[in-house]
Amino acid sequence: MSQFKLHDVRLFCVPNCFFAVVLFSAGALAAAQEQSGSAKAVSKGETNDQPNMEIRKVGFVVHGGAGTIERSEMTPEREREYRAGLEHALTAGYEILKRAGSSLDATEAAVRVLEDDPHFNAGKGSVFTNVGTNEMDAAIMDGKALRAGAVASLKHIKNPVSLARLVMERSGHVMMDGEGAEAFAKENGIQLLTDQKYFFTKQRWEALQKVKSAEKSGGGAGGKKYIITDQDRHGTVGAVALDQNGNLAAATSTGGTTNKRAGRVGDSPVIGSGTYANNATCAVSATGDGEYFIRATVAHEVSALMEYRGMSLKEAAQSVLDKVAKLGGSGGLIAIDRQGNIALPFNTSGMYRGYVDPNGKFVVEIYK
Amino acid sequence: MSQFKLHDVRLFCVPNCFFAVVLFSAGALAAAQEQSGSAKAVSKGETNDQPNMEIRKVGFVVHGGAGTIERSEMTPEREREYRAGLEHALTAGYEILKRAGSSLDATEAAVRVLEDDPHFNAGKGSVFTNVGTNEMDAAIMDGKALRAGAVASLKHIKNPVSLARLVMERSGHVMMDGEGAEAFAKENGIQLLTDQKYFFTKQRWEALQKVKSAEKSGGGAGGKKYIITDQDRHGTVGAVALDQNGNLAAATSTGGTTNKRAGRVGDSPVIGSGTYANNATCAVSATGDGEYFIRATVAHEVSALMEYRGMSLKEAAQSVLDKVAKLGGSGGLIAIDRQGNIALPFNTSGMYRGYVDPNGKFVVEIYK
């Protein structure tokens, strides 16, 4: 899906001559800065039409869910597809950041790409509830003004993250759910799907049957045994970004967990749990056993440990994930701070993830 | 509604002879302890059938919403009704705590009383959405195990807080909304109302018309002017408790804001925003402009400031409310910590509130 190679994003930029030089120097500066530990990179190059404008470091991270992802169960072709999806999302967001776009736009764009990709559990590839429906949650948060938008239990919206943004910007509310949220979408020109056919994927439907069969067979007494991996059960997509203006944003979208009860809302749309952004600290998007992530108020806890305990982003992110594990939950999160430091901890065997390194290179990883 | 007087709860206890002596000594000890600053009061009185069991201090606080509550607009009769409602709720919860019941049971019981009272914006007295429906949110959290249950956008449930508890205990999930949540309620023996007549109150219906008229008249150009007080707009009920086992709990329930869009979810069911409990720190239930309380992750922020900044409950609660005000929001919160300290800050002209003081006396207040 992606048209350019890993570790080679700058080639992609060449056609955009105006930006190419700026970006090249920004990339080089960012690299130098990473070594010096400085928070800002200042460019006064002539390619900049605002001579004294600071060209600050940008940063971008995406995830496509954490869980039991075993190399042995992954075909090379399938792995390529997942990697391509993550690269595609990285590109969508990073292109915006490079052009001095906002972190909000970048996270929304990347999450939309992942929502449209059937490999990931959000939008098109959403899992099924216990009654065979698809119900989606999403959220977005702007770290500059602490504005947020969240949606839950959507059934007829192709891109829940964009509706979350619309809720933030035009509803006067922060969180909306179900038919009310969809009516608001319609009022604002978002087309509703007439039914849920768009969300049908064979893979997710089979995962539901597998989980239901395992449920029926109980402990396995006489029943057929099934191995239910986390991959069958859940997944989430998300993005966090730092833009040239130093603004942080986070966005998350999910179909929830396979066989969830209809009406179940996970952590993704719970501001402070699955999604949070605050320019004073960090932007976080989480994925995993949503119930545990809500109970541990994961995303805001990372922020609080940085702000009030003085932890680094990495320490805070790992510390919170350890708390989730202590409660009994597994998963992961992606986070970025104002200095462009990133963290991508997870306590499962894998997490679909990608980021743009300080040299502008794309890094996509799946396993530990 | 309440059958006994303010500042005289111990009279009420006399018929329960077994508990009367225990409570009297617990009350006295609690008073002594308050002065000495000690966290626990130990009784080895012979009235206790477990001679070495510690009789710990309990604490209980309720609220019935914060907003513009002017003395000049309140009749003595109406004020008596509000006070009676709060006393009734205090009794329901405190009676449970005195008998060594759990903080979870106490908060649920008190919130149910307020949900059943048409004076408060929750359950029976819920406000109307912009399409004339009633949509309720609620949550409950157990500080001991960080378990939580939350429900949103309910239309046919008399006591949303009890469904929140059921979600916590039996659904395998933390948060459920809409029809899915109601189907889960039905499965578990909770009777659904067949329509919304139960929630109709003249006062709330008139408030909706008032807000709608004000909306139509825009800035007042040619239109009739209306004074829309916070009281017309919102409200929430909640309770926080410390039980004899040292466990904290919080519960919140609301009809949301008058003229809210259908599908709007406020802060009440957002764990970490309107509701949070953690034995390590405190239990919090908030009320006010829900959107701002979500953006400020109010309830978890109070906890974080205590845990990571070492603030007292009062300092933390006030500090967070100041942050809400800085974002542009108004409201209040009630909070209690493991030592039984309580805080009830609000930045509006009034908040319906009540607590049981260290001597076992009921204190009910409305204005600043």
pLDDT digits (tens, 9 = 90+) for B189-202: 999 999 999 999 99
Least confident of A127-131, B318-322, B359-363: B359-363
Calculate the CA dihedral of residues A62, A64, A68, A73 and round it to 10 degrees.
-110
pTM score, whole prediction? 0.86
Which has more pLDDT, A8 or A267? Answer: A267
Substitution target in A297, A309, A320 with the highest count of B β-carbons within 10 Å is: A297
Q: ∠ at Cα B81 (B80, B85), nearest 5°?
A: 115
CA distance A276 to A286: 9
| Confidence grade of residue B68 (pLDDT, cut at 50, 70, 90) | confident
Substitution target in A156, A167, A173 with the highest count of B β-carbons within 10 Å is: A173
What is the pLDDT at residue B292? 98
- Identify all chain A residues contacting B294, using CB atoms and an 8 Å cutoff: 148, 174-175, 271-272
- Identify all chain A residues contacting B176, using CB atoms and an 8 Å cutoff: 261, 263-265
Which has more pLDDT, B83 or B228? Answer: B83
Q: ∠ at Cα A241 (A237, A244), nearest 5°?
A: 160
Give which of A75, A352, A273 is closest to B146, Cα–Cα: A273
- pLDDT of residue A151 exceeding 50, the answer is yes
Per-residue three-class SS string for A199-262: HCCHHHHHHHHHHHHHHHCCCCCCCCCCCCCHHHHCCCEEEEEECCCCCEEEEEEECCCCCECC
CA distance B241 to A172: 33
Chain A: give the shortest CA distance to residue B16, in Å: 38
Of all residues in chain A, the one with the smallest CA distance to B264 is: A176
Chain A: give the shortest CA distance to residue B291, in Å: 5
CA distance A342 to A63: 13
Alpha helices in chain A (DSSP H): 9-13, 17-36, 76-98, 103-116, 160-166, 178-187, 202-216, 230-233, 290-295, 298-309, 313-327
Q: What is the mean pLDDT of residues B171-195?
A: 98
- pLDDT of residue B217 exceeding 70, the answer is yes
Question: Which member of B264, B301, B307 has the closest CB to residue A176?
Answer: B264
| Confidence grade of residue A63 (pLDDT, cut at 50, 70, 90) | very high
Of all residues in chain B, the one with the smallest CA distance to A176 is: B264
- Identify all chain A residues contacting B180, using CB atoms and an 8 Å cutoff: 129, 135, 153, 261-264
Contact B263 A183 (CB under 8 A): yes
| Confidence grade of residue A227 (pLDDT, cut at 50, 70, 90) | low
What is the pLDDT at residue A67? 84
Of all residues in chain B, the one with the smallest CA distance to A306 is: B308
Cβ-contact A204, A43 below 8 angstroms: no
Contact B327 A146 (CB under 8 A): yes
| Confidence grade of residue A228 (pLDDT, cut at 50, 70, 90) | low
Give which of A90, A79, A128, A116 is closest to A259, Cα–Cα: A128
CA distance A295 to A299: 11
Calculate the CA dihedral of residues A27, A33, A39, A45 and round it to 10 degrees.
-50
CA distance A178 to A8: 42
Cβ-contact A87, A6 below 8 angstroms: yes
Chain B: give the shortest CA distance to residue A266, in Å: 7
Which has more pLDDT, B71 or B300? Answer: B300
Active site positions of B, annotated: 236
Least confident of B27-36, B146-155, B207-216: B27-36
Contact B175 A135 (CB under 8 A): no
CATH number, domain containing residue A185: 3.60.20.30
Tell me whether residue B49 is in a domain: no
Tell me whether residue B52 is in a domain: no
Contact A177 B265 (CB under 8 A): yes
Chain B: give the shortest CA distance to residue A267, in Å: 9
Quote the DSSP letter at residue A182: H
For chain A, what's the residue count? Answer: 368
- pLDDT of residue B4 exceeding 60, the answer is no
Q: ∠ at Cα B12 (B9, B13), nearest 5°?
A: 100
What is the pLDDT at residue B344? 98
Contact A297 B300 (CB under 8 A): yes
CA distance B89 to A83: 56
C-alpha separations of B14 from B21, B200, B223 in Å: 9, 39, 59
What is the pLDDT at residue A282? 98
Question: Is ipTM over 0.90?
Answer: no
Cβ-contact B332, B343 below 8 angstroms: no
Q: B40 Cβ partners below 8 Å, 6+ apart?
A: B33, B54, B56, B57
Which has more pLDDT, B217 or A2? Answer: B217
- Backbone torsions φ then ψ of B251, nearest 5 degrees: -145, 145
CA distance A176 to A173: 7
What is the pLDDT at residue B175? 98
CA distance A76 to A231: 17
- pLDDT of residue A115 exceeding 90, the answer is yes
**Alpha-carbon A227 to chain mean position:** 27
Write out pLDDT tens, residues B70-98: 777 788 999 999 999 999 999 999 999 99
Of all residues in chain A, the one with the smallest CA distance to B295 is: A146
Domain of A278, in residue numbers: 59-195+229-367
| Confidence grade of residue B123 (pLDDT, cut at 50, 70, 90) | very high
Write out pLDDT tens, residues B236-281: 999 999 999 999 999 999 999 999 999 999 999 999 999 999 999 9
Six-digit token pair at B145?
Answer: 């195990």
Cβ-contact A127, A134 below 8 angstroms: yes
Of all residues in chain A, the one with the smallest CA distance to B296 is: A146
- Identify all chain B residues contacting A266, using CB atoms and an 8 Å cutoff: 175
Question: Which member of B180, B297, B327 has the closest CB to residue A263?
Answer: B180
| Confidence grade of residue B55 (pLDDT, cut at 50, 70, 90) | low
Contact B291 A173 (CB under 8 A): yes
Substitution target in A154, A174, A271, A305 with the highest count of B β-carbons within 10 Å is: A174
Chain A: give the shortest CA distance to residue B367, in Å: 28
- Identify all chain A residues contacting B183, using CB atoms and an 8 Å cutoff: 262-263
Q: What is the DSSP string of B139-188?
A: EEEETTTTEEEEEEEESS-S-HHHHHHHIIIIIS-SEEEHHHHHHHHHHT
**Neighbour tally for B64: CB within 10 Å:** 27
- Identify all chain A residues contacting B265, using CB atoms and an 8 Å cutoff: 150, 152, 173, 175-177
Write out pLDDT tens, residues A276-319: 999 999 999 999 999 999 999 999 999 999 999 999 999 999 99
- Identify all chain B residues contacting A290, using CB atoms and an 8 Å cutoff: 174
Cβ-contact B190, B162 below 8 angstroms: yes
For residue B140, list its beta bridge partners: B149, B251
B237 SS3 class: strand
Per-residue three-class SS string for A69-108: CCHHHCCHHHHHHHHHHHHHHHHHHHHHHHCCCCHHHHHH
Tell me whether residue A304 is in a domain: yes
Concerning whether A236 is annotated as a catalytic residue, the answer is yes
- Identify all chain B residues contacting A146, using CB atoms and an 8 Å cutoff: 295-296, 327
Quote the DSSP letter at residue A168: I
Q: What is the mean pLDDT of residues B24-41?
A: 37
What is the pLDDT at residue B308? 98
Contact A291 B174 (CB under 8 A): yes
- pLDDT of residue A4 exceeding 90, the answer is no
CA distance A141 to A144: 9
- Identify all chain B residues contacting A256, using CB atoms and an 8 Å cutoff: none
Tell me whether residue A210 is in a domain: no
What is the pLDDT at residue B148? 98
Task: Check A236, A252, A258, A281 and give the catalytic one.
Answer: A236
Question: Which member of B148, B150, B264 has the closest CB to residue A180?
Answer: B264
| Confidence grade of residue A46 (pLDDT, cut at 50, 70, 90) | very low
Substitution target in B157, B261, B293, B306 with the highest count of A β-carbons within 10 Å is: B261
Report, in angstroms and rounded to the nearest whole number, the Rg of chain B calculated over CA atoms.
Answer: 20
What is the pLDDT at residue A293? 98
Tell me whether residue A108 is in a domain: yes
Tell me whether residue A203 is in a domain: no
Give me the number of domains chain B comprises.
1
Contact B175 A265 (CB under 8 A): yes
Question: Which member of B262, B294, B295 has the closest CB to residue A183?
Answer: B262
Which has more pLDDT, A167 or A358? Answer: A167
- pLDDT of residue A33 exceeding 90, the answer is no
Quote the DSSP letter at residue A123: G
**Neighbour tally for A357: CB within 10 Å:** 16
Question: Which member of A177, A260, A309 has the closest CB to residue B152?
Answer: A177
Tell me whether residue B279 is in a domain: yes
Q: A249 Cβ partners below 8 Å, 6+ apart?
A: A102, A103, A104, A106, A107, A140, A141, A142, A143, A240, A241, A243, A277, A283
CA distance A121 to A247: 28
Six-digit token pair at A239?
Answer: 């993005």
Q: How far apart are the first and last CA of chain A?
A: 24
Six-digit token pair at A136?
Answer: 């989606």
Cβ-contact B186, A334 below 8 angstroms: no
Tell me whether residue A288 is in a domain: yes
Q: How many Cβ contacts (< 8 angstroms) between chains A and B?
A: 153
For residue B366, list its beta bridge partners: none
